[in-house]
Structure 1
Amino acid sequence: MALEPEESVKMDGDYETNTAISYEDSYLSDSEIFEDGIEASDADLQSENAKEKKSNMAGIVYDLIFYAMLIFICVYIVPNFVLQRTIVDGSSMADTLLNGEQLYVEKLSYRFDALDRFDIIVFYPYGRDNEEYYVKRIIGLPGETVQIIDSKIYINGEILEENYGKEPIEDPGRAAQPITLADDEYFVMGDNRNVSKDSRTEEVGNVKKENIGGRAILRILPLKRFGTID
């Protein structure tokens, strides 16, 4: 009977010891989990920061590309292929256009064969390699036959009804004989016809499409004459 308490005490000791070990293990386990949690949180934060920096860098790169393209379009594409400012030199288009007036010329119509009779165009009479350009009005279209008889303009044998000329034509020039235009040629004249060097002269002749720079659409200076051009 005396042995029972000893066994009981031993069992209790074992129980207490085991309980303490179990509690310690549990405590260590919780600490490890807590520390792992901190490390995981730091890793997530670093990952988010890295993503944010990458996103900001990508945004900066996109902005630089966008502004570079915008500058390229404004500096190169628009002046060469869309819209260009031109200054009238001389009085050959008076009274429609006067010397020194500044115009905007659109450069799309002739590329799509959308030029019409009486449009005012800018062209290079001596080819694009020469910087000199003229501003004149289209009278004859590709494929038509132009002739001037007694100050009257004939297109395909019929009188052209128009009132753009400042004065009656005194010199028909080469148009005294019928001139048949090729599929890529235009016949042009200045509105001030007795002082204009245009398709009536051998020097200028028929204007080829490849030498047209654009169509005048807007007068911007002087401001008192600002407006579209007829």
Structure 2
Amino acid sequence: MVKELIELGKSMIIAIIAAFLIITFVFETVSVDGHSMDPTLNHKDRLIVEKVSYYFREPKPGDIVVIKYPADPKEKFIKRVIAIGGDKVRIENNKLYINDVQKNEPYILEQTMNDFNQVTVPQNTVFVMGDNRNNSRDSRYPDVGFVDYKMVVGRAALRIYPFSKFGRLSSLANESALNTIGFLDSAH
């Protein structure tokens, strides 16, 4: 009986360690909290965020990412990567420009956006925005700003809830409107 309890204890410890390693290095689930990614992701959507790809490549424009909120790293946001290191970003007359080229963004909720003076994204950082541009705390605000790669948790890969919208979340850089981004775990 004691031998069986010891074996059971070992199995439980191994399971706990394996779960910790998977959540830390492979994937985690998150819940969208808020409306900053409407219409792509909606409040209370459940997502799987994969962490492995960014060990081998950097985030790219169009990726939907979970980031640690720079002003309070315990909080997480989910946003779309708009630009990467070296890119120039500006918003003028309700249009987003990356490197002086107007971007077609069929996934955003509405066109009305405040102008944003041109900035150059530093190396090893990304510029992120929510798809609901008028209700998103993102890189346009000093408390978020340019997001260091170390603050990128992972890439939103799969929506698991609601079941009616279950499916893979694709980078929208080369696709038209798919329903895929937002805010998460008490993010605004």
User: Please, what TM-score do these two structures have when normalized by structure 2?
Assistant: 0.79
Deviation of the 1:194 alpha carbon? 0.8
Q: Which residue of structure 2 lines up, in the alignment, with residue 81 of structure 1?
A: 25
Deviation of the 1:93 alpha carbon? 0.4
Q: Which has the higher contact order (CA 8 A, sep 6+)?
A: 2
- Distance across 2 between alignment mates of 1:130 and 1:208: 12
1:85-109 Cα deviation digits (max 9, x unpaired): 0010100001111111110000122
Q: Which residue of structure 2 lines up, in the alignment, with residue 199 of structure 1?
A: 139
1:142-188 Cα deviation digits (max 9, x unpaired): 2211111111111111112331211003213xxx2211111111111
Q: Which residue of structure 2 lines up, in the alignment, with residue 210 of structure 1?
A: 150
1:68-92 Cα deviation digits (max 9, x unpaired): 545422x211101101000101000
1:20-65 Cα deviation digits (max 9, x unpaired): xxxxxxxxxxxxxxxxxxxxxxxxxxxxxxxxxxxxxxxxx99997
- Distance across 2 between alignment mates of 1:156 and 1:206: 16
- Distance across 2 between alignment mates of 1:166 and 1:151: 12
Q: Which residue of structure 2 lines up, in the alignment, with residue 119 of structure 1?
A: 63
1:110 aligned to 47, 54, 57, which one?
A: 54
- Distance across 2 between alignment mates of 1:143 and 1:112: 20
> What pairs up with 1:144-163 in 2 under 5 angstroms?
144-163=87-106
Q: Which residue of structure 2 lines up, in the alignment, with residue 178 of structure 1?
A: 118
1:119-154 Cα deviation digits (max 9, x unpaired): 111101226x63111111011112211111111111
Q: Which residue of structure 2 lines up, in the alignment, with residue 35 of structure 1?
A: none
Q: Which residue of structure 2 lines up, in the alignment, with residue 98 of structure 1?
A: 42
Between structures 1 and 2, the one with greater helix share: 1
Q: Among the aligned pairs, what percent are the same residue?
A: 36
- Distance across 2 between alignment mates of 1:200 and 1:169: 15
RMSD of the alignment, in Å?
2.3
Query: What SS does the aligned partner of 1:146 have?
Result: strand
- Indicate whether 1:189 and 2:129 are aligned: yes
Between structures 1 and 2, the one with greater strand share: 2
- Distance across 1 between alignment mates of 2:33 and 2:8: 42
> Which residue identity is paired with 1:138?
V
Q: Which residue of structure 1 lines up, in the alignment, with residue 85 of structure 2?
A: 142
- Distance across 2 between alignment mates of 1:72 and 1:203: 35
Structure with higher Rg: it is 1
How many positions carry a matched residue from both structures?
166
> Which residue identity is paired with 2:133?
R
Structure 2: state its 5+ residue gaps.
1-5, 171-188
- Distance across 2 between alignment mates of 1:108 and 1:62: 32
Query: What SS does the aligned partner of 1:105 have?
Result: strand
Structure 1: state its 5+ residue gaps.
1-60
- Distance across 1 between alignment mates of 2:12 and 2:32: 33
> Which residue identity is paired with 1:153?
L
Q: Which residue of structure 1 lines up, in the alignment, with residue 17 of structure 2?
A: 72
- Distance across 1 between alignment mates of 2:7 and 2:119: 56
- Indicate whether 1:165 and 2:105 are aligned: no
